[in-house]
Amino acid sequence: MIYLYFAAGIGLTVALQMVQAPRKRLAIGALLAAILLLGPLVNGNDATLNVLADAGIYIVLALGLNVVVGYAGLLDLGYAAFFAIGAYAYALLASPQLGIHLPFWAILFIAAALASLFGIVLGAPTLRLHGDYLAIVTLGFGEIVPQVFQNLTKLTGGPNGIAALDFPTFFGRSFGQGSMPYYYVSLGAIALTLLLVRNLRDSRLGRAWMAIREDELAAKHVGINTTAVKLAAFALGASFSGLGGVIFAAKLSLVSPDLFQFQLSVLIVSMLVLGGMGNIAGVVVGALVLTFVNGVLLPQANTMAAAVHLNVDFGQYHFLIYGAILVGIMLFRPGGLLPNRQRSEELTNPQAGTS
């Protein structure tokens, strides 16, 4: 069953990328929406929905990071920090930890705002740095944030984190233990994110991002306030990560600092690189493929290996997979599986861009 969902998600997203005719696109989109909305009602296996809800959160994260990396061309290696900020915001504002019990829906917005605020705090002094120095600064930030959460033991429970977070409620009804409500929340978050990033991409701001990505100096000279525009990319990108963090924390009912390490930031970057930086359909496919590999394929491989008494733990090969994707794609298909034509041109032909 889970294979069907991933096959439909990946296949139909690729189809949306390939097909140009508006009518056909509408039909494909409607089919995809119908499968995603109605599927669980027909066959709602909890484990399946759990993986799919995770996939949904990853799609939101990947689309958000795509604003920063894909559109504005700024490599952010500390994206997990904003995710941690969102998750901890939920953990502190909806748990017995501080005795505060704000509603889930309010915290979604609070966390998004908080994450973008931190995006501005980090970005304002650092965005004048170029390329790889900026990447290292974001990496440093990404290391500091979970460490600070770990060290503020009284507030955050230290390395153990905070458990027993409130279940969200929807018109007075608790979400409870099952994965189904989180699945639908993540669908809603994807829809909202898609709407926002599409509109952003086609807005004046979006064109300014791409101008900066292609040639910052030229962009500056046609009158773009590059600092403000880059800061906007950072803040908006971070807000999606904060939003995703709230859903993630509520679904797990637990936060702890080790959930937000560098590996998570690199996982999201790998999704972008695999699918195609700067291309919405590509990013969605990248997120789906990697969630499928991590959440379905590797556990399956383990089960199969155990069945034939083969003593291999495929779970320990996550790093190798991300690493191989990053190296392989950059060397052989820099635009990703579903390239954004403009962006892949820049990555293969250095004359076309200087990012």
Work out which of 13, 17, 50, 150 binds another protein, going by CB under 8 A. Answer: 150
DSSP string, 205-269: HHHHHHHHHH-HHHHHHTT--HHHHHHHHHHHHHHHHHHHHHHHHHHHTEE-GGGGSHHHHHHHH
Q: Is 148 in the site for another protein (CB under 8 A)?
A: yes
Residue 5 in contact with residue 292, Cβ under 8 Å?
Answer: no
Work out which of 9, 40, 64, 73 binds another protein, going by CB under 8 A. Answer: 73
User: Residue 252: is it exposed, middle or buried by C-beta count within 10 angstroms (0-12/13-18/19+)?
Assistant: middle
Q: Is 273 in the site for another protein (CB under 8 A)?
A: yes
Q: Which two tokens stand for residue 80?
A: 């997990």
Q: Match 């900066």 to its residue by tokens.
A: 212
Residue 166 in contact with residue 104, Cβ under 8 Å?
Answer: yes
Work out which of 262, 297, 314, 342 binds another protein, going by CB under 8 A. Answer: 262
Q: Which residues pair with 95 in a beta bridge?
A: 100
Residues 117-136, one symbol each (x = binds another protein by CB under 8 A, - = not), give: --------xx--xxxxx-xx
C-alpha span between 56 and 62 (Å, rounded): 10
Residue 130 vs 173, nearer CB to another protein: 130
Site for another protein in 180-239 (CB under 8 A): 217
Residues 293-322, one symbol each (x = binds another protein by CB under 8 A, - = not), give: -----------------------xxxxx-x
Residue 2 vs 122, nearer CB to another protein: 122
Q: Match 């901890």 to its residue by tokens.
A: 88
Q: Is 353 in the site for another protein (CB under 8 A)?
A: yes
Q: Is 139 in the site for another protein (CB under 8 A)?
A: yes
- Binding residues for another protein, rule: CB under 8 A, are 73, 75, 77, 125-126, 129-133, 135-137, 139-141, 143-144, 147-148, 150-151, 217, 262, 266, 269, 273, 316-320, 322-328, 330-331, 334, 346-348, 350, 353-355
